[in-house]
Amino acid sequence: MKIAQVGETILHQIAKPVAEEAIKSDAFQAFVDELLSTMQNANGVGIAAPQVFDERAVMIIASRPSPRYPNAPEMEPLVLINPKVIQSAQESVKDWEGCLSVPGLRGYIRRASWVEIAYQQRDGSQVSTRLSGFVARIFLHEFDHLIGKTWLDHVEVNTDIMAESVWRKKVAGIVEPQNDSTG
């Protein structure tokens, strides 16, 4: 699946709910599998349907260590259909975020420290849960894609934006291997 890039109209649209009868369909289940594969192949920790030019309210959060998020906690991928925010913490935390739809940049973004949510699972059942820390940040980031926003809409000052390559050195402490061209 092709990932929409910042500036694409779909990233500014509000996603449409998935109909109850559609959730269990083979076509929808195949879409979710492909969405998960697209996220994993791009080393993402989350993805929302609008990021692949699909207007349905579906997202996946799947925190795991990767080159893009070396310190991410490990979790099984979680598919959230028609997610809703029930309540969120008044306390907020700033941290760095990247986005598959905003390649090459990181943003230092303020998000609630926890969030209570409700959503449907792949079998259509309703679930309510509370997420905190990095997983809450992933959820809120992906939920933004369902309401027509990206992390760029949350930037407080321009100095909170950094090139991915600079972020890797300055913030993540990742030392890139040197190319030895002496042959």
CA–CA separation, 6 and 57 (whole Å): 19
* Residue 142 is among the residues annotated as catalytic for this protein: yes
> Within the chain, what is the greatest distance between any pair of CA atoms?
63
CA–CA separation, 41 and 100 (whole Å): 11
Two tokens, residue 85: 């925010």
Q: Which residues carry a binding-site annotation?
A: 99, 141, 145
Write phi, then psi, for 171 (nearest 5 degrees).
-105, -50
Q: Which residues carry a binding-site annotation for Fe cation?
A: 99, 141, 145
Among the listed residues 8, 142, 156, 164, the single catalytic one is 142
Active site amino acids: 142
